[in-house]
A and B are shown apart, each in its own frame.
Chain A
Amino acid sequence: MMGSRVGWRRRAAVLLLVAVSLSAMSATPAAAAAADSVEAGREAEQHTERISGSAGDVLEDNPVGRLKVFIYDLPRKYNKKMVTKDSRCLNHMFAAEIFMHRFLLSSAVRTLNPKEADWFYAPVYTTCDLTPAGLPLPFKSPRVMRSAIQYISNKWPYWNRTDGADHFFVAPHDFGACFHYQEEKAIERGILPLLQRATLVQTFGQENHVCLKEGSIIIPPYAPPQKMQAHLIPPDTPRSIFVYFRGLFYDTGNDPEGGYYARGARASLWENFKNNPLFDISTDHPPTYYEDMQRAVFCLCPLGWAPWSPRLVEAVVFGCIPVIIADDIVLPFADAIPWEEIGVFVEEKDVPKLDTILTSMPIDDILRKQRLLANPSMKQAMLFPQPAQPRDAFHQILNGLARKLPHPEGVYLQPGEKRLNWTAGPVGDLKAW
């Protein structure tokens, strides 16, 4: 009798404690919401607007404490040696893999104890093999990746435990982990079979495409933050260019007849709008490129050989509304950033009607998009600054990884169970590196 009464009191105390803590927890979000609404009221008078995507208002989340990442210590030949061989890797648009590694090495989410890690990271720089002109050659990348995976599966037990399902890799190349710059060949190869279960952090994203796996995290391409910072002009400079674009329309070297490059969309742009005074488009590369973007209302971001380009990052940083002409493209951090509200999406078949589309947009939409773009979290989320700053792209990647936690049931394999086929893929890939 005594015992049960004591137990009852203890249980009541526990229940009371839980109730109090729950109410406290619910109070703080309510207070936060109240504070938020006051802030939102103030912000409505200001010139920015809060951004919340399909995953909620997550751009400003702090990943520290929500996940732990263990970094494999791979031999220098997989990473550092490539950079010392050609340091141009640090400046081109694929440099995100290098900077992600450097960020994670000194980040608070890093753990040196693999037993408590949620995610495992293998720093392999697959896009650092450059031609003399500076373009990355993807021909050895599958072998490099395979060799790295063989190394980590032999040296540590964690790969075999899940066959890579709690590992992530950064693959910033044209078509991600398909490791080819030509779309037809990339589709033919498909994603490297060994990466079938791993999470891929890549710049390429197109719906229903072979090279985009379910659960991949799409990131923006690397654009040098200091260079963009150095070219800022006063924000009250009036925006007097309606539509701005600088780049190729015809890739005469690789596609002289036209029709392959950009699926004919860029050529269509040129033919329809080269004489239109509202469209400032040309292949010229002026030194005032960044300043001109800040004086434009709309910046075109059409696809090229691949659907993504650093133009999106530049447009967002400079407050120019991006006009995305790439069918079925998946944009960076699509669950955190509501891109339909921020940019204008034009289908490739509607390019001849682009001027009608843009001029018939209601002015309130345009102003709202500019307000969203002016939000500093938006600009921060697109950049890879060194050293890392809160809410930048590195943190958004970690937020994305944290949102995938806890790992679902199928991640951990039964002992002896194997899901990956180590001999799949073209024969050339099986050669050692």
Chain B
Amino acid sequence: MMKSLLPQSQLRRSAAAAAAARSSGGGAASGGADGAGSDGGAGGRVPAASTFWFLLHALCCLVSLFLGFRFSRLLFVLLFSTTALYSSTSSSSSSAVLRATTTTTTTTTTTTTTTNTITLSFAATANPPPSTSVNYSALDSAASGHTQSHVVVGRHGIRIRPWPHPDPVEVMRAHRIMERVQEEQRRWYGVKEPRQVLVVTPTYSRAFQALHLTGLLHSLRNVPYPLTWIVVEAGGTTNATASLLARSGLTIVHIPFPDRMPRDWADRHTTENRMRLHALRVIRERKMDGVIVFADDSNVHSMELFDEVQKVQWMGAVSVGILAHTGTADQPRLSEEDKQNMPLPVQGPACNSSGQLVGWHTFNSLPFAGKTATVVGEAAPVLPRGLEWAGFVLNSRMLWKEAEGKPDWVKDLDAVGENGEEIENPLTLLNDPSSVEPLGNCGRKVLLWWLRVEARADSKFPQGWVIQPPLEVVVPAKRTPWPETTAALSSELLDTKQDQEDRRLSRTNRSSQSRSTTKRKGDVQGQQN
């Protein structure tokens, strides 16, 4: 057998390659058949070559370990592939390198399209890196029979913009869009012809008036219907009330009522009723058109109330939650059976199963018997009497002398309350109380809450809640420069203050405070001197 006249190096290389191809170790033994002569020569080189491949293998493993298989493949693609973009599948190029050492699994299947996107894509817990995405797409149009979709199957990058936070201008635009959408909704599905709302409020000047009226004022400003606020003030109109009302921006009718508000809860209740009647007479005089809502200044109203009252035909009743305010720490101790029999603190219409009015729920005041407040400002529960006006709404046309379609079960307003009889609730305006319409899902929805909270009748409060003249200085602040105080006053005050501090410090630890006070003492005395 003629020995092939190959140069030694080639023999060695082929032997080395053959050796490497089979296994990294023990290559010398397999090269027995040919190149026996070169065995000796190649024997010395084979270990070197195999160690080289072994080292390369180890390097690749380490890289994979730290970067992950995909990244390491990436790395080798970038290092070894020359025409990177739009070449044949990148894994095949990387496998050309790694074929000899590792068993790479090609990720492409020949009939499908694959995207190897090299994006620094999001790892589940790490911070999101910038979102560059470079697509290495291998389009294999031979596989599919028709025009290839540009939508590729496979792994894609997750696009994250560098500043994934909301832009305030866009947020405002979104809110404006929602506002407009809601306006359209109201137009399509809401009340078709919104009627004016006439709100009747009896009030008088006292400490809590500003508190109550401010709350009511804000509620009324949010009502989306045209509104007129009729405020009846006991004791004549005052500037304080007028200035509060002027700030509301609503249409106000400020009516004086000659009598002053009494201090007794029972009498106050009666006076309020008379004030309301007075307002109704004014409405009739001026032929005001709309739905009358009785909003007492201390009550709290929901917006749904005003939507619901648009549905009233002549006279409607809504459910009122009664908040019997207990001002003291000693609550009435209720027995167990009292607690169980405690009915809902709600006043309103009661319906039968077909939705017709059959009666009234009223507030059960028995558990509070004997413990209620008699004088305004007393710290005890204040309870409603019978049916409160706040739970009723009227169509103002009901009060007019002549109105189209006015039902005959409505008494004429003049006939009511003129002979000195007291009006307890609006039902006395009717001949037939069963024609009242129950609103708010037949009284099941509580639309407003009744509450009476007042300060003591002799409580002082600044006129119009404006501090005028400025308050007297009681204790000067430590660090702020205080303008013009008399020397005597200041030293007197400082001495007393330092005595107090010394006494405190003797009990607690001596810290820099003591140092500072002694310093200050020195300073002040220096000043004084």
| Given A188-B111, A351-B159, A363-B180, A209 and B149 contact (CB-CB distance below 8 Å) | yes
| Given A208-B148, A259-B156, A367-B184, A267 and B122 contact (CB-CB distance below 8 Å) | yes
Segment 322-347 of A: residues with Cβ below 8 Å from B: 327-328
A277 touches B171 (CB 8 A): yes
- Say yes or no: is B370 at the interface (Cβ < 8 Å to chain A): no
What are the interface flags for A368-387 relative to B under an 8 Å C-beta threshold, 1 for contact and 0 otherwise?
Answer: 00100010000000000000
A238 touches B171 (CB 8 A): no
- With a CB–CB cut-off of 8 A, which chain A residues contact B112? 184, 187-188
- Say yes or no: is B425 at the interface (Cβ < 8 Å to chain A): no
A259 touches B182 (CB 8 A): no
Q: Which stretch of B90-98, B186-194, B264-272 is in the interface?
A: B186-194
> In the bound complex, how far is the Cα of B151 from the Cα of A207, in angstroms?
9
Segment 211-238 of A: residues with Cβ below 8 Å from B: 234-236, 238
| Top-8 shortest CB links A-B | A236-B189, A208-B149, A47-B188, A352-B161, A264-B156, A238-B182, A359-B170, A359-B173
A297 (CB) vs chain B CBs: closest residue: B181
A271 (CB) vs chain B CBs: closest residue: B160
> Chain A nearest CB: distance from B123 CB in Å?
8
A328 touches B151 (CB 8 A): yes
What are the interface flags for B110-143 relative to A under an 8 Å C-beta threshold, 1 for contact and 0 otherwise?
Answer: 0110000100011010001001000000000000
- Say yes or no: is A349 at the interface (Cβ < 8 Å to chain B): yes
A273 touches B153 (CB 8 A): no
Segment 197-215 of A: residues with Cβ below 8 Å from B: 206-210
Contact of B173 among A46, A236, A352, A360 (CB under 8 A): A360
> Chain A nearest CB: distance from B125 CB in Å?
12
> Chain B nearest CB: distance from A232 CB in Å?
12
A235 touches B159 (CB 8 A): no
- Say yes or no: is A66 at the interface (Cβ < 8 Å to chain B): no
- Say yes or no: is B167 at the interface (Cβ < 8 Å to chain A): yes
- With a CB–CB cut-off of 8 A, which chain B residues contact A210? 144-145
B187 (CB) vs chain A CBs: closest residue: A47
Chain B interface: which size bin?
Answer: 35 or more
> Chain A nearest CB: distance from B475 CB in Å?
46
- With a CB–CB cut-off of 8 A, which chain A residues contact B111? 187-188
A206 touches B151 (CB 8 A): yes
What are the interface flags for B409-453 relative to A under an 8 Å C-beta threshold, 1 for contact and 0 otherwise?
Answer: 000000000000000000000000000000000000000000000
- Residue ranges of A at the interface with B (Cβ–Cβ < 8 Å): 46-47, 183-184, 187-188, 206-210, 234-236, 238-240, 242, 256-260, 263-264, 267-268, 271-273, 275-278, 297, 327-328, 349, 351-353, 355-356, 358-361, 363, 366-367, 370, 374
B158 touches A259 (CB 8 A): yes
Interface of B is mostly: loop
B151 touches A264 (CB 8 A): no
Segment 99-118 of B: residues with Cβ below 8 Å from A: 109, 111-112, 117
A349 touches B164 (CB 8 A): no
A183 touches B174 (CB 8 A): no
- Say yes or no: is B333 at the interface (Cβ < 8 Å to chain A): no
| Given A234-B189, A235-B189, A242 and B149 contact (CB-CB distance below 8 Å) | no
> In the bound complex, how far is the Cα of B107 from the Cα of A184, in angstroms?
12
> Chain B nearest CB: distance from A326 CB in Å?
9
A242 touches B156 (CB 8 A): no
B190 (CB) vs chain A CBs: closest residue: A236
> Chain B nearest CB: distance from A8 CB in Å?
57
Segment 146-178 of B: residues with Cβ below 8 Å from A: 146-151, 153-161, 164-167, 170-171, 173-174, 176-178
A271 touches B158 (CB 8 A): yes
A355 touches B166 (CB 8 A): yes
- With a CB–CB cut-off of 8 A, which chain A residues contact B144? 187, 210
Contact of B164 among A47, A256, A272, A327 (CB under 8 A): A272
- Say yes or no: is B185 at the interface (Cβ < 8 Å to chain A): yes
A367 touches B180 (CB 8 A): yes
12 pairs of residues in contact across A and B, judged by CB atoms under 8 Å = A47-B184, A236-B189, A258-B122, A258-B158, A260-B154, A264-B155, A276-B166, A349-B159, A352-B164, A358-B174, A367-B181, A367-B184
A208 touches B147 (CB 8 A): yes
> Chain A nearest CB: distance from B468 CB in Å?
44
B111 (CB) vs chain A CBs: closest residue: A188
| Given A239-B185, A367-B181, A259 and B160 contact (CB-CB distance below 8 Å) | no
> Chain A nearest CB: distance from B429 CB in Å?
32
| Given A242-B174, A267-B122, A187 and B153 contact (CB-CB distance below 8 Å) | yes
| Given A260-B155, A268-B158, A366 and B131 contact (CB-CB distance below 8 Å) | no
- With a CB–CB cut-off of 8 A, which chain B residues contact A256? 124
> In the bound complex, how far is the Cα of B145 from the Cα of A360, in angstroms?
41
B166 touches A268 (CB 8 A): no
> In the bound complex, how far is the Cα of B188 from the Cα of A46, in angstroms?
7
- With a CB–CB cut-off of 8 A, which chain B residues contact A47? 184, 187-189
- With a CB–CB cut-off of 8 A, which chain B residues contact A235? 185, 188-189
Contact of A278 among B128, B160, B166, B187 (CB under 8 A): B166
- With a CB–CB cut-off of 8 A, which chain A residues contact B131? 352
Contact of B181 among A184, A208, A239 (CB under 8 A): A239
B171 touches A239 (CB 8 A): no
> In the bound complex, how far is the Cα of B131 from the Cα of A327, in angstroms?
20
Contact of B184 among A207, A267, A370 (CB under 8 A): A370
Contact of A183 among B124, B153, B160, B186 (CB under 8 A): B153
> In the bound complex, how far is the Cα of B173 from the Cα of A242, in angstroms?
11
B164 touches A242 (CB 8 A): no
> Chain B nearest CB: distance from A297 CB in Å?
6
- With a CB–CB cut-off of 8 A, which chain B residues contact A260? 154-156
B158 touches A366 (CB 8 A): no
> In the bound complex, how far is the Cα of B170 from the Cα of A355, in angstroms?
7
| Given A184-B112, A236-B185, A239-B182, A278 and B151 contact (CB-CB distance below 8 Å) | no
- With a CB–CB cut-off of 8 A, which chain B residues contact A272? 159-161, 164
- With a CB–CB cut-off of 8 A, which chain A residues contact B187? 47
> In the bound complex, how far is the Cα of B160 from the Cα of A426, in angstroms?
41
A268 touches B182 (CB 8 A): no
> Chain B nearest CB: distance from A263 CB in Å?
5
> In the bound complex, how far is the Cα of B178 from the Cα of A207, in angstroms?
34
Contact of B151 among A240, A327, A359, A374 (CB under 8 A): A327
- With a CB–CB cut-off of 8 A, which chain B residues contact A358? 174
- With a CB–CB cut-off of 8 A, which chain A residues contact B164? 271-273, 275-276, 352
Segment 3-43 of B: residues with Cβ below 8 Å from A: none
| Given A258-B122, A271-B122, A349-B159, A328 and B185 contact (CB-CB distance below 8 Å) | no
Interface centre among A188, A256, A258, A370 (most CB of B within 10 A): A258
- With a CB–CB cut-off of 8 A, which chain B residues contact A275? 164-166
Contact of A297 among B158, B161, B178 (CB under 8 A): B178
A212 (CB) vs chain B CBs: closest residue: B149
A297 touches B189 (CB 8 A): no
What are the interface flags for B33-59 relative to A under an 8 Å C-beta threshold, 1 for contact and 0 otherwise?
Answer: 000000000000000000000000000
> In the bound complex, how far is the Cα of B272 from the Cα of A344, in angstroms?
58
| Given A187-B112, A271-B128, A275-B164, A297 and B177 contact (CB-CB distance below 8 Å) | yes
B122 touches A370 (CB 8 A): no
A268 touches B160 (CB 8 A): yes
> Chain B nearest CB: distance from A237 CB in Å?
8
- With a CB–CB cut-off of 8 A, which chain A residues contact B176? 363
- With a CB–CB cut-off of 8 A, which chain B residues contact A366? 177, 180-181
- With a CB–CB cut-off of 8 A, which chain A residues contact B150? 327-328
> Chain B nearest CB: distance from A9 CB in Å?
59
| Given A235-B185, A271-B158, A352-B160, A259 and B149 contact (CB-CB distance below 8 Å) | no
- With a CB–CB cut-off of 8 A, which chain B residues contact A370? 181, 184
B121 touches A259 (CB 8 A): yes
> In the bound complex, how far is the Cα of B187 from the Cα of A46, in angstroms?
10
B159 (CB) vs chain A CBs: closest residue: A268
> In the bound complex, how far is the Cα of B180 from the Cα of A239, in angstroms?
10
> Chain A nearest CB: distance from B323 CB in Å?
28
| Given A272-B164, A370-B184, A352 and B189 contact (CB-CB distance below 8 Å) | no
> In the bound complex, how far is the Cα of B140 from the Cα of A184, in angstroms?
13
> In the bound complex, how far is the Cα of B177 from the Cα of A242, in angstroms?
9
B148 touches A278 (CB 8 A): no
